[in-house]
Amino acid sequence: MDMTDGRAPAARPRGLPARLRAALGRRVPTEITEAQLGQVLALVAGAVNAGGFLLVGQYTSHMSGVVSAMADNLALGAAWLVLAGLGALLAFMAGAACSAILINWGRRRRRRDRFAMPLLLEAALLVLFGLLAELLAAPASTVLAVPVLCFLMGLQNATITKVSGARVRTTHMTGIVTDIGIELGKLFYWNRMPGVPEGDRVLADRAKLRLLGRMLGCFFAGGVIGALGFGRLGYAFSVPVAVILLVLAGAMVRQRA
Q: Is residue 104 predicted with pLDDT exceeding 50?
A: yes
Q: Is residue 27 predicted with pLDDT exceeding 60?
A: no
Instruction: Assign 10 a pLDDT band (cuts: 50, 70, 90).
Output: very low
Q: At 237, give phi and psi (nearest 5°).
A: -70, -10
What does the DSSP assignment read for 26-66?
A: SBSSTT-BHHHHHHHHHHHHHHHHHHHHHHHS---S-SHHH
Higher pLDDT, 249 or 195: 249
* Rounded Cα distance, 202 and 204, in Å: 7
CA distances from 5 to 55, 106, 107 (A): 39, 11, 8
Nearest to 168 by CA among 152, 156, 184: 156
Round the average pLDDT of the chain to a whole number and report it. 82
Higher pLDDT, 202 or 119: 119
The residue ranges of every structural domain in the chain are 27-256
Residues 152-164 pLDDT 10s: 999 999 988 888 7
CB neighbours of residue 114 within 10 Å: 23
The residue-averaged pLDDT of 92-119 equals 91
Q: Which of 6-15, 71-80, 199-208 has the highest mean pLDDT?
A: 71-80
27-256: CATH number? 1.20.1250
Nearest to 9 by CA among 23, 30, 32: 30
Residues 208-230 pLDDT 10s: 899 999 999 999 999 999 999 99
Do 211 and 190 contact (CB within 8 A), yes or no?
A: no
Q: Is residue 22 predicted with pLDDT exceeding 60?
A: no
Residues 52-97 pLDDT 10s: 888 888 888 889 889 999 999 999 999 999 999 999 999 999 999 9
Beta-bridged to residue 149, according to DSSP, are none
Q: Where are the alpha helices (H) located in 165-205, listed in sequence order? A: 174-187
